[in-house]
């Protein structure tokens, strides 16, 4: 059984790599883009949605040397064997790696996030029930936004 410790990792000045530029990558990118713009996506064919984010794109096939200089790696391809290869290469280099939709092999997982101003709420089920994590996150977000006093713009 995989168990994950909730952490906040300092990423300012750190490079993040996404191997894969499809829908799976876009899902993870949406969360990471709230915290960093130093993101590179490596794929021979990225979706227009990924390209529209403005992240750096390397239009090529994956090689282990592509991991050099990166702090975190997300393996987000539809090819399970390639994702696992990325994980093993990253681990050999001491780089944490997340395989999208594979909590058992990942070094870390991504929680459901709600970010407002300087505050962040994350909800995790240790990757066992992402849908429920999102439901809880949405309930917390709704509760928070409903309790906020309107900003007084007349002062």
CATH of the domain at 49: 3.40.50.720
Q: Are residues 95 and 33 in the same domain?
A: yes
Number of domains observed in the structure of the chain: 2
9 occurs within a structural domain:
no
Q: How far is CA 79 from CA 27, 60, 61, 151, in A?
A: 17, 15, 12, 48
pTM of the model: 0.85
Q: What pLDDT band is residue 155 in, cutting at 50, 70 and 90?
A: very low
- Give the residue from 115, 69, 104 showing the smallest Cα distance to 90: 69
| Domain extent at residue 129 | 112-147
Q: Are residues 87 and 54 in the same domain?
A: yes
Section 75-97 average pLDDT: 97
Which residues 6+ apart lie within 8 Å of 82 measured at CB?
19, 62, 75
Q: Are residues 92 and 45 in the same domain?
A: yes
Q: Are residues 94 and 120 in the same domain?
A: no
Lowest mean pLDDT segment, chosen from 4-13, 43-52, 79-88: 4-13
Q: Are residues 93 and 119 in the same domain?
A: no
Q: Are residues 63 and 129 in the same domain?
A: no
pLDDT of residue 132: 85
């Amino acid at each position: 059984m995989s168990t994950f410790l909730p952490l906040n990792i300092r990423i300012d000045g750190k490079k993040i790599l996404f191997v894969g530029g499809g829908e799976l990558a876009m899902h993870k990118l949406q969360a990471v883009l709230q915290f960093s713009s130093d993101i590179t996506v490596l794929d021979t064919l990225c979706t227009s949605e990924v390209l529209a984010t403005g992240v750096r794109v390397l239009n090529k096939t994956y090689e282990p040397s592509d991991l050099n200089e990166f702090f975190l790696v997300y393996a987000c391809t539809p090819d399970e064997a390639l994702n696992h290869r990325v994980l093993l290469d990253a681990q050999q280099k001491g780089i944490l790696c997340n395989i999208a939709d594979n909590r058992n092999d990942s070094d870390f997982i991504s929680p459901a996030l709600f970010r407002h101003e300087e505050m962040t709420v994350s909800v995790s089920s240790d990757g066992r029930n992402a849908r429920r994590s999102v439901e809880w996150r949405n309930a917390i977000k709704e509760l928070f936004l409903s309790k906020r006093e309107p900003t007084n713009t007349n002062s």
